[in-house]
């Protein structure tokens, strides 16, 4: 997942609180200091014609010194466009108000999207300085627009008379979403409340930037060097090769290095026989942002929670969670909590069964110590190997990244009739980045897809989708420029990148997001692609994961990297049997984070928040739900980027589980007809979901595809969480 997915209006999409939680590009690492830059506006690449294919950003021309002058000019231009709308003597119409508002800020959007994409790929002190300077400025700029009384008066007048305007269904949806966006941004507030809301937005933007930078700096300050053969005990060749490459990337040639990238952390925790080193790495992982150093985030968390609560109160909500869910499929924090609780019961029961298997393995191996969180991956893998005939290294040998990419493209072609051809004439911001052109069945050029798949120093962790430009048809067809980022271990030169089945599913997941942007076919940019309800945005990504598990896809694309032979049936059978071997663990660590995120944002006492002990509060929530001691929550609060580095998932981490209900129920439609590529269902999925953006309410979109509301039964069944007494 990815911080790049934005949900509301175009200008709101680009507010600093969302866009500037990222970092910066390796390509800019050697740029001159800002104060030394002599870039003049006439030479600034952001105010020149972009001549690359699809008018893609000229990354080879962009320097760090380009940004501040470009931002300054673009903000001034945007202000002039907004004032032209506000000061118009003409009566408000859809075109002179709504469409004009959507067109305003094109230059600012181009700059901000480019910076955000670059910033997510690497970082340096110079880019962090730009980030810190611009995030509050852009938040103030966004607030001023959404608190502009004259602009809102025009939009409000149109909304009040919407039934008389003769609008199309899409136009009416755009107007309603725009009006709601203004109201939720405080447009109806008066006097001191309006001023205070603007101050809060500006302060939060700075706090989000500080939080995310602290996490990244703390993570990058840790490396474990494997100095002896004993340090490397138990680690497969693929893990050692990745560790050697990590050393090279950090100018530590010849050394094997474990980092806090998930693609380094999890394999080490799974295979290392050195319990002392596993504990060391685990503690570094869980304590990011919580190390009593300059990167500690506890005060940031308190201030963020205080300001979010104050803003929610100003807007008439008792808690931030109530504000956050009011405009979603869930509707209330209680509904979100109820979903988590429903799945939690089965997940914890499954985790207890997994723990029993682990303890049996520990006994067989003579391990007489207590089972701790840093032991679960290691002994869990031993238990899986004992109970299921599955060789993970053999699976990886059949899953080269290139073949998985070919698979994701082939599935899109069979479902939606589009094809992808790699291009080498599009500028990129790092040599690792690859670019593909998407075309329709009749050869029409539809957009560009950028893929950036390898971890490197400075690149933020995780996987996400981003957009350099969204699709719309306000002025003819504007083609989307969509990106996927992952953080896999980069192989040594000449070797293929081999990934696990779960990592292959993440590739498909992010490409599902990408297709949501690439296949968008709407007129208005404010409802394009992924700009949907935040608890619906994960549905297209999560349903797309299912095709990576399809036998037909595996048979065609899971080919051994040396022999080219397809995955043997016995390996495929073992993979199926072991699919839910650790589903208890996976769901417990995830749901626990969802519970904590909701609990923080359901707080309604500002004084309590001001004196909150973050760790004690976290522990209290986990004790309430009966969190097993042996499992750590997936994201502890001091490094919980979803919750505290921006607002897309704040008070809404539950959305992945909500979307899990949708994707399992949705894919069941294909299973029911016995064809994963059923043309009629694929067309419905395209029409109602992938091409539709936010042109209709999320539940209506789901029903348009599925024919009914979703059921939790398929999720519980597919994850092996169905209770014995359940009828699901």
**Catalytically active residues, by annotation:** 510
Closest CA to 662 of 719, 691, 722, 703: 703
Residue 489 main-chain phi, psi, to 5 deg: -70, 130
Q: What is d(CA 541, CA 66) in angstroms, rounded to the nearest whole number?
A: 34
Q: What does the block give as tokens for 360?
A: 């049996």
Which of 480, 484, 404 is closest to 448 using CA atoms? Answer: 480
Strand segments (E) across 194-338: 224-226, 256-258
Tell me the C-alpha to C-alpha distance, in Å, between residue 608 and each of 391, 452, 612: 51, 43, 6
Residue 356's CB is within 10 A of a number of other CB atoms, namely 10
How far CA 113 is from CA of 109, 291, 373, in Å, comes to: 6, 33, 39
Q: Work out the number of other CB atoms within 10 angstroms of the CB of residue 90.
A: 8
d(CA 435, CA 450): 4
DSSP β-bridge partners for residue 445 = 439
Query: And the tokens for 154?
Result: 């025009």
Distance CA 418, CA 413 (A): 5
Cα separation, 16 vs 7, whole angstroms:
14
Q: Which secondary-structure segment (H or E) carries 454?
A: strand 445-454
DSSP code per residue over 600-658: HHT---HHHHHT--HHHHHHHHHHHHT--TT---SS-GGG-HHHHS-SSSTT-TTHHHH
User: Burial code of 552-570, b = ≥16 C-beta within 10 A, e = fewer?
Assistant: ebbeebbbbbeeeebbeee
User: CA-based angle 492:494:495, to the nearest 5?
Assistant: 60
CB 297 within 8 A of CB 214: yes
Taking a C-beta distance cutoff of 8 angstroms, is the pair 92, 157 a contact? yes
Residue 647 in contact with residue 18, Cβ under 8 Å? yes
Contacts of 459 (CB under 8 A, 6+ apart): 23, 26, 120, 121, 122, 123, 485, 487
Alpha-carbon distance 645 to 354, whole Å? 33
Closest CA to 152 of 86, 219, 241, 243: 86
Q: What is the dihedral of CA 99, 102, 105, 109, to 10 degrees?
A: -150
The structure tokens listed for 576 are 């199926």
């Amino acid at each position: 997942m990815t911080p790049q997915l934005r949900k509301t209006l175009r200008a709101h999409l680009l507010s600093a609180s969302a866009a500037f939680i990222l970092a910066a590009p390796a390509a800019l690492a050697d740029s001159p200091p800002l104060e030394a830059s002599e870039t003049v506006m006439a030479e600034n690449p952001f105010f020149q014609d972009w001549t690359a294919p699809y008018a893609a950003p000229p990354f080879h021309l962009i320097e760090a010194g380009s940004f501040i002058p470009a931002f300054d000019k673009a903000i001034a231009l945007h202000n002039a466009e907004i004032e032209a709308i506000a000061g118009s003597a003409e009566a408000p119409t859809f075109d002179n108000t709504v469409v004009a508002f959507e067109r305003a800020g094109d230059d600012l959007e181009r700059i901000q999207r480019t910076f955000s994409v670059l910033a997510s790929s690497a970082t340096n002190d110079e880019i962090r300085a730009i980030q810190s300077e611009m995030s509050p400025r852009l938040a103030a700029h966004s607030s001023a627009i959404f608190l502009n009384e004259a602009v809102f008066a025009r939009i409000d007048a149109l909304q009040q008379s919407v039934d008389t305007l003769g609008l199309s269904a899409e136009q009416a949806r755009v107007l309603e979403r725009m009006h709601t966006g203004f109201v939720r941004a405080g447009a109806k507030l008066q006097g001191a409340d309006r001023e205070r809301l603007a101050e809060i937005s500006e302060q939060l933007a700075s706090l989000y930037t500080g939080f995310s930078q602290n996490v990244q700096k703390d993570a990058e300050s840790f490396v474990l060097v494997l100095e002896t053969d004993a340090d490397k005990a138990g680690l497969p060749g693929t893990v050692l090769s990745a560790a050697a490459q990590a050393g090279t990337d950090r100018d530590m040639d010849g050394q094997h290095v474990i980092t806090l990238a998930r693609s380094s952390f999890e394999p080490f925790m799974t295979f290392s026989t050195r319990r002392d080193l596993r504990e060391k790495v685990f503690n570094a992982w869980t304590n990011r942002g919580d190390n009593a150093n300059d990167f500690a985030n506890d005060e940031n968390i308190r201030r963020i929670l205080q300001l979010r609560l104050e803003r929610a109160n100003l807007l008439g909500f008792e808690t931030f969670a109530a504000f956050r869910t009011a405009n979603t499929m869930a509707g209330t924090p209680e509904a979100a909590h109820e979903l988590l609780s429903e799945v939690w019961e089965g997940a914890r029961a499954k985790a207890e069964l997994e723990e029993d298997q682990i303890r049996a393995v520990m006994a067989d191996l003579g391990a007489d110590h207590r089972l701790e969180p840093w032991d679960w991956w290691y002994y869990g893998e031993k238990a899986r190997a004992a109970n299921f005939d599955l060789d993970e290294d053999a699976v990886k040998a059949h899953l080269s990244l290139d073949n998985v990419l070919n698979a994701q493209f082939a599935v899109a072609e069979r479902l939606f009739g589009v094809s992808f051809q790699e291009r080498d004439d599009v500028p990129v911001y790092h040599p690792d980045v690859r670019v593909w052109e998407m075309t329709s069945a009749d050869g029409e050029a539809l957009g560009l897809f950028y893929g950036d798949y390898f971890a490197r120093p400075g690149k933020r962790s995780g996987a996400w989708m981003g957009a350099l430009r969204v699709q719309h048809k306000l002025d003819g067809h504007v083609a989307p420029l969509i990106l996927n980022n992952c953080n896999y271990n980069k192989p040594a030169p000449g070797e293929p990148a081999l990934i696990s089945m779960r990592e292959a599913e993440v590739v498909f997941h992010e490409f599902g997001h990408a297709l949501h942007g690439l296949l968008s076919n709407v007129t208005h940019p404010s409802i394009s692609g992924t700009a949907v309800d935040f608890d619906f945005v994960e549905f297209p990504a999560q349903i797309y994961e299912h095709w990576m598990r399809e036998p037909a896809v595996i048979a065609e694309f899971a080919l051994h990297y040396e022999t080219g032979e397809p995955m043997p049936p016995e390996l495929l059978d073992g993979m199926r049997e072991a699919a839910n071997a650790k589903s208890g663990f996976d769901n417990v660590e995830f749901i626990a984070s969802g519970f904590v995120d909701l609990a923080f944002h359901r707080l309604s006492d500002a004084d309590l928040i001001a004196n909150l002990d973050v760790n004690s509060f976290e522990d209290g929530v986990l004790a309430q739900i009966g969190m097993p001691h042996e499992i750590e929550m997936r994201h502890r609060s001091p490094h919980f980027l979803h919750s505290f580095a921006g607002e897309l998932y704040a008070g809404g981490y539950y959305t992945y589980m909500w979307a899990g209900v949708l994707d399992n129920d949705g894919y069941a439609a294909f299973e029911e007809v016995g064809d994963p590529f059923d043309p009629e269902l694929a067309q419905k999925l395209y029409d109602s979901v992938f091409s539709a953006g936010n042109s209709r309410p999320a539940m209506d979109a789901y029903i348009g595809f599925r024919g009914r509301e979703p059921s939790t039964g398929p999720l519980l069944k597919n994850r092996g969480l169905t209770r014995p007494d359940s009828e699901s």
